[in-house]
Structure 1
Amino acid sequence: MSDDVQDKDPAPAPREALEDNRLTGAFVDEVTEALAAGDTARVQELAEPLHPADIADLIEQVEPGERQPLAAALGAVLDADVISEMNEVVREQLIDVLDPGQVADVVTQMETDDAVAILEDMDEEDQAEVLRSLPADERAAIEEALSYPEESAGRLMQRDLIAVPEYWTVGQVIDFLRQAGDDVTSDFWEIFVVDPSHKPVGTMRLSLVLRSPRNVLVTDVMKREQTLIPVDMDQEEVALRFQKYALISAAVVDTSGRLVGVVTVDDVVHIIQEEADEDILRLSGAGDGDINDSVREIVSTRLRWLVVNLGTAIIASIVIGFFAGTIEKMVALAILMPIVSALGGNAATQTMAVTVRALATDQLTEANTRRTILKEIRVALINGAAIAFLVGVAAGLYFTNVHLGLVIATAMIGNILVAGLAGVMVPLTLDRMDVDPAVSSPVFVTMTTDVMGFLFFLGLAAATGLTG
């Protein structure tokens, strides 16, 4: 998101356009009616007072087939600020129908990080044509950004920043800022101090600059401790550093340690949200799902994991098949089996969700892995004992069979213990293998709890002569 968008005060919205900071259904209907009637003047009149983020929401909320006509009807109201605020899927759909010249006009109004977000998803041919339409300096900056790995600090950073030498005085810094004027296109909170080789040696907050006498040297008032971001660092790790050290901005350095850009907190907020959403969606097997994706894309993403789940379900069914004779002798076993597997699955999901999130936020490391595993074992034993008591007593009373109650209680303790271990060990193992635990853990954990749950329950029933 552009800094200038973040600080832009929203103009008064049309009456009843917003309710609780959301567009009302009546307002969206009014816009679509004007669009259907070909009244572009009315469409622009309704949309013009809205904040860019609300105009982006408006485009997202109309029917997919209406988005392109609405974008065309908005005219000059649809500027770079609006496109920067759009949902990524909708923005890609809209960019696809614009010619390279129009895309170039939009890109020239954006900061480098926002421009890169648009160009990186375009076809190579279209991307090259857009780049050819850009001024030489902007083209060079964007091409450099595109040369860095996807989802890296190099893609995320902004090139506009203020850097001064440490031998300057505070007065020289202030004079330099005043003379720079419109050449500084981004808002900033920190001034970076660099040595003669343009390597960062410290920072100065604007508040410090304003409070210091003009004749004081920068080297005497700057803060030497700073968090430097390598240009190839993954954006998730960048976000973790901002969270951990409460950063507002941070210098990005290349492999030689030279200052090449800056990452600001407004960009990181989006990354934190994206990464959290991504983990939640992947844990559910929905991939990178978005409500604006096409039916074909959604089916393609979800179907393959449903097929994998089908395979694990078949394995669980095979285990049940081994005890078909046991089940035939006592119908109560078939009635109680789903309880064992369901509770085990829920217990595993709780542990797995916490573990995956801890791995994503660097809270779970080699130093505390053993302690975490032991803690989950204790939790599983306590929860297993509590649930086993409730289920065992209920089953024993309902079926008037104390033996059955003891069997299901024992099976429940065993399965919840396995669930707790699987919820920790599966994500940990996958993470050590450099496999995304958010994507793969649910399948293996579910299979483990189902298979072991049925094995414990039916195996105990057969071994203890419950059906004899």
Structure 2
Amino acid sequence: MQDRTRQAPKLADVRLALEARPSALPEMLAEVHAADLAEWLGALELDDARRLFDLTDLATQAEALQETSDTVREHLVPSLPVDRLVALAEVLPPDEVVDMLALVDEPLAEEVLHQVDFDGTRGLRRLFQYPPESAGGIMTTEFDAFDSGTRVGDAIKGLRRDEIASAGLGSGVYVVDEVGRPLGHVTDRELLTSPIHATLDELMEPDLVLVTADEDREEVALQIAKYNLPSLPVVDLRGRLIGVVTDDDALDVLEEEVREDIQMLVGASAQEQTRLPIARRVRQRLPLMGLTVLGGLATAKVLDLSIAAAGGDPGEGGGILDTMRYVPIILGLAGNVGIQSSTILVRALATGEVLPERERAVLGAEVATGVTIGVLCGLLTGVVALFLEAEVGLAYTFSLGVGLAIAIAVSWASLLGCLVPILCRRAGIDPAIVAGPFLITLSDLSATAIFMLVAQAVRGFAGAVG
């Protein structure tokens, strides 16, 4: 009775045990749910995640590997011993095994395949030949198919004898002809509620949507969503049934594609940004920022020419008018950096990638990324401005002021883009509500004010010293 009423451990309990009471972890993890383990693995530091993973049983490990993030899998799988990889390969669905072995060196993958039973190896090797972005790359070879003319009773007996039974997917059974070409599909409901002497041909839906193994996985997923299918049969060039793509696989693909599109839209990669090293984040986001700087410099030159054409003197004394010509750079950089940080944080908060326990670490890493980008963009702008403003009085001081102001303003925009979503979640407000126009407006306004104040302060200080 005590075990039944015992409260399930929380992430805070796991952290405490990892730090102070490692001996308590085995008992704590004895009946942990795989979904909880997957969440903990994503919230902990990668080394702690590995320690936790090693203490759980095989079945829980297999389920958690399917649920946890790509970043965590990339850290855990390559460090697993061969015997554990073999054990996981024997309990995971074939498509998941292929994904797992793709994370290890080819010789190690071959060694694992040699130790898996012959039938399983044959199916896995077939899956390995398909590109990850294709239907063959996401299909499973675990499905149930019966010959045309099979009676319902015989089909049910066959399913009972089959230990896999469609991998528990609940996607029904397929009816095939003598060479293995799909003729129709029978749902589980039809199978279980029909007379046992009826044939599958009488119950099947003959109008199947078929795809080949080389078709793009996103197109396949969209077809499953469009026609509300539990699974989609995959055929070879001769039309023979070789696998199925399930609705769960389609959902995973669509979620991944949406995540990629959203993050690429703001100049970031499709990877989990909150777990990448700062230097890698900077490398991925810097090209968009460099393009923004170049666009801003071009705009400054256009304004320079426009002011000159109107009879003004933009180069007189490096004053407020000269500084204002660089405001478009700030508007572009602050908006882009702010929306990058907020988009990454909003998605990470919504998907559970960032739990409350990781907020401080994620905030620090994202701000450090923004500061680095700000300094690099400020340096680039300052150097270019030195040449563009050669005729401006105190050109060196002016360029220094512009570069420093950009670095500080962009760093502030990054902080704002991270802090606002986190504060919104703590206040019980959906971060997505304020991560759009409101945050962009606030970022642009505050960053522009900071830019003007810092640039003019540097110019005033240099003038006073000079």
> Could you tell me the TM-score, scaled by structure 2's length?
0.63
How many Å separate the matches in 1 of 2:306 and 2:6? 68
CA positional deviation for 1:56: 1.1
Aligned counterpart, 2:456: none
Mapped contact 2:232–2:245 kept (Cα < 8 A): yes
Aligned counterpart, 2:240: 258
Which residues in structure 2 correspond to 1:273-292 (within 5 Å)? Answer: 273-290=255-272, 291-292=274-275
Which residues in structure 2 correspond to 1:20-39 (within 5 Å)? Answer: 27-37=10-20, 39=22
Mapped contact 1:14–1:50 kept (Cα < 8 A): no
- For the residue of structure 1 that corresponds to 2:162, the secondary structure is helix
Matched, 1:119 2:111: no
Matched, 1:179 2:161: yes
Counterpart code for 1:234? D
Note closer, same or farther for the CA distance 1:13–1:311 as it changes in structure 2 (3 Å cut): farther
Mapped contact 2:86–2:112 kept (Cα < 8 A): yes
CA positional deviation for 1:32: 2.2
Mapped contact 1:153–1:263 kept (Cα < 8 A): yes
- Aligned pair count reads 326
Matched, 1:135 2:117: yes
Aligned counterpart, 1:203: 185
Mapped contact 1:166–1:219 kept (Cα < 8 A): yes
CA positional deviation for 1:318: 3.5
How many Å separate the matches in 1 of 2:92 and 2:267? 35
Mapped contact 1:228–1:250 kept (Cα < 8 A): yes
How many Å separate the matches in 2 of 1:72 and 1:13? 26
Moved more, 153-162 or 75-84: 75-84
Moved more, 235-244 or 131-140: 131-140
Unaligned segments of structure 2, at least 5 residues: 315-319, 336-466
Counterpart code for 1:97? S
Note closer, same or farther for the CA distance 1:160–1:33 as it changes in structure 2 (3 Å cut): same
- For the residue of structure 2 that corresponds to 1:207, the secondary structure is helix
Which residues in structure 2 correspond to 1:68-467 (within 5 Å)? Answer: 68-74=50-56, 78-181=60-163, 185-290=167-272, 291-326=274-309, 328=312
How many Å separate the matches in 2 of 1:313 and 1:76? 56
How many Å separate the matches in 2 of 1:37 and 1:76? 26
Mapped contact 2:146–2:174 kept (Cα < 8 A): yes
How many Å separate the matches in 1 of 2:5 and 2:134? 37
CA positional deviation for 1:102: 2.2
CA positional deviation for 1:324: 4.1
How many Å separate the matches in 1 of 2:6 and 2:40? 13
Mapped contact 1:12–1:49 kept (Cα < 8 A): no
Select 1:15's aligned residue among 7, 18, 22.
7
Counterpart code for 2:93? E
Mapped contact 1:157–1:261 kept (Cα < 8 A): yes
- For the residue of structure 2 that corresponds to 1:108, the secondary structure is helix
Note closer, same or farther for the CA distance 1:179–1:289 as it changes in structure 2 (3 Å cut): closer
CA positional deviation for 1:338: 6.3
Note closer, same or farther for the CA distance 1:296–1:337 as it changes in structure 2 (3 Å cut): closer
Deviations 1:224-271 (A, max 9, x none): 111112111111111110111111111111122110011111121111
Deviations 1:280-331 (A, max 9, x none): 0000001113122233332232223333333333333343343241574698
CA positional deviation for 1:51: 1.8
How many Å separate the matches in 2 of 1:152 and 1:308? 33
Note closer, same or farther for the CA distance 1:125–1:308 as it changes in structure 2 (3 Å cut): farther
CA positional deviation for 1:75: 5.4
How many Å separate the matches in 1 of 2:31 and 2:172? 33
Mapped contact 2:296–2:326 kept (Cα < 8 A): no
Aligned counterpart, 1:43: 25
Aligned counterpart, 2:432: none
Counterpart code for 2:122? A
Note closer, same or farther for the CA distance 1:105–1:324 as it changes in structure 2 (3 Å cut): farther
How many Å separate the matches in 1 of 2:5 and 2:49? 21
Mapped contact 2:151–2:200 kept (Cα < 8 A): yes
Percent identity of paired positions between Structure 1 and Structure 2? 26
Mapped contact 2:184–2:205 kept (Cα < 8 A): yes
How many Å separate the matches in 2 of 1:313 and 1:253? 53
How many Å separate the matches in 2 of 1:191 and 1:281? 39
CA positional deviation for 1:13: 9.5
Aligned counterpart, 2:460: none
Mapped contact 1:71–1:78 kept (Cα < 8 A): no
Aligned counterpart, 1:356: none
CA positional deviation for 1:182: 5.4
Deviations 1:395-449 (A, max 9, x none): xxxxxxxxxxxxxxxxxxxxxxxxxxxxxxxxxxxxxxxxxxxxxxxxxxxxxxx
Mapped contact 2:65–2:73 kept (Cα < 8 A): yes
Unaligned segments of structure 1, at least 5 residues: 1-10, 18-26, 347-468
Mapped contact 1:35–1:73 kept (Cα < 8 A): no
CA positional deviation for 1:164: 1.1
- For the residue of structure 2 that corresponds to 1:323, the secondary structure is helix
CA positional deviation for 1:62: 1.4
CA positional deviation for 1:184: 5.4
Deviations 1:99-153 (A, max 9, x none): 2332222222100111111122333233223323322222221221110112211
How many Å separate the matches in 1 of 2:64 and 2:114? 24
Note closer, same or farther for the CA distance 1:28–1:214 as it changes in structure 2 (3 Å cut): closer
CA positional deviation for 1:67: 2.1
Aligned counterpart, 1:64: 46
How many Å separate the matches in 1 of 2:234 and 2:177? 15
